[in-house]
Amino acid sequence: MPVVPAKSSPDLLGNPAIGQGIRMFPHQATRITVLSGGMGGAKFVQGLLHGIDRGTLPAVAPDAEVTVIANTADDLWIHGLKVCPDLDTLMYTLGDGIDPERGWGRREETWSAKTELERYGVEPTWFGLGDRDIATHLVRTQMLESGYPLSEVTTALCRRWQPGVHLVPMSDDRVETHVAIADADQASGKRVIHFQEYWVRLRAEVPAEALVFVGLDQTTPAPGVLEAIADADLVIVPPSNPVVSVGTILGVPGIREALRTTAAPVVGVSPIVGDTHVRGMAHQMLTAIGVEVTATAVARHYGARSGGGVLDGWLVDESDAHQVASVEAAGIACAAVPLMMIDHEATASMAAAAIGLVRPL
């Protein structure tokens, strides 16, 4: 008796993504993995969790679990302490300890230790560690020096903060983004500084002539990272910096391949709106690597899965609706929706739109 194929449900065929080799997930998603930098990614995950809790995300189970793979190339050693800005921004934001105005560090913070360090004339004074924040770095540094890997340190810190996600560093290995800037006093005409000095002391106000991701090629994914991608029902790339946050995660050997081969659809949200970033320094970083500062250029930079890249879908802002066709021409499903994360509802709507790109209508 020949097996009569079930009639393809019309909604599966109704989705324009069908036929472009774009991954779909026809069932309820219970495992969602997000690749994230600091502030933008943290805000997006807040909205995603809000949408899951409210049941407003299509085809996402109310008990869906979220794993966040965080960038660690912003990390730095300062005053003898290991500081992990993106991990901490995610942990504090999702654990409700973040200072909402700054978008980093603790709210109700005091700066006595910072002031005392300045009075001793100890540099760098341009990077401030708040008194409460220092406790996090003391715990982390002690655990690292006792031999615990960063992923276990992060799990231990999250026992206190309960971020509501499984927070994992992209790697347990040390990696740092350094930036080459012009310096007439140098024979080479350039000087290389840590990313944090470029961003915090120089406010990204000078051109980044080149980026150096120190140690990135020698890193291995932290335990659970590749599984979180391979076993996901859905992978989301939030509007984090495409070069020094998402780009560095993709640069960890094995991660890009895991994204290319996972059965889960991979959907991204443009960090570029109207040809510039919403916040941060994506404009400067994209320019440093020769990528045009447009929503389409970033999608092409990540690449369509069908072309050896990682994306199945890409959200652009409604003000960039004229770019939808060019993203689709690159083999990536695309929609133009409001991308300003003004509150959790707005962000949850973005997450719903991203999911809508890669699931049956």
Which residues here bind ligand FO1, judged by CB under 6 A? 37-38, 74, 83, 85, 88-89, 104-105, 127-129, 133, 196, 199-200
Cβ proximity to ligand FO1: between 177 and 326 the closer is 177
CB-closest chain residue to ligand FO1: 85
CB-based contact 42:89 (threshold 8 Å): yes
Q: Are 213 and 73 in contact (CB under 8 A)?
A: yes
CA R_g for the chain = 21
Q: How far is the CB of 96 from ligand FO1 (least distance, A)?
A: 16
Q: Kindly state the smallest distance separating residue 146's Cβ from ligand FO1, in Å.
A: 22
348 is written with which tokens? Answer: 């949850």
Please identify, using beta-carbon distances, which residue of 46 and 349 lies nearer to ligand FO1: 46
Helix axes 150-161, 85-94, angle to 10 degrees: 20
Alpha carbon distance 54, 65 (integer Å): 14
Give the whole-angstrom CA distance, residue 349 versus residue 155: 29
d(CA 83, CA 103): 15
Instruction: Work out how close the CB of 69 gets to ligand FO1 at its nearest, in angstroms, rounded to a whole number.
Output: 16
Minimal distance, residue 335 CB to ligand FO1, in Å: 27
Residue 106 DSSP symbol: B
Smallest separation (angstroms) from ligand FO1 to the CB of 284: 12
Closest distance between ligand FO1 and the C-beta of residue 269, in Å?
17
DSSP one-letter code for 5? P
Q: Residue 301 CB, nearest distance to ligand FO1 (Å)?
A: 19
Any idea of the CA torsion for 251, 170, 238, 311, to the nearest 10 degrees? Answer: 50
CB nearer ligand FO1, residue 89 or residue 219: 89
Q: For ligand FO1, which is the closer residue by CB, 67 or 196?
A: 196
The three-class DSSP label of residue 193 is strand
Asked if 259 and 229 count as a contact pair (C-beta separation under 8 A), the reply is yes
Given the complex with ligand FO1, which of 44 and 104 has the nearer CB atom?
Answer: 104
For ligand FO1, the closer of residues 11 and 116 by Cβ is 116
Gap between the Cα atoms of 202 and 136, Å rounded: 26
Taking the least distance from each CB to ligand FO1, the nearer of 281 and 291 is 281
Q: Quickly list H helices, 172-307.
A: 195-196, 225-230, 246-251, 255-261, 282-288, 295-302
Instruction: Using the minimum distance from each CB to ligand FO1, give the nearer residue, 86 or 312.
Output: 86
Q: In the complex, what is the shortest distance from the CB of residue 277 to ligand FO1, in angstroms, rounded to a whole number?
A: 11
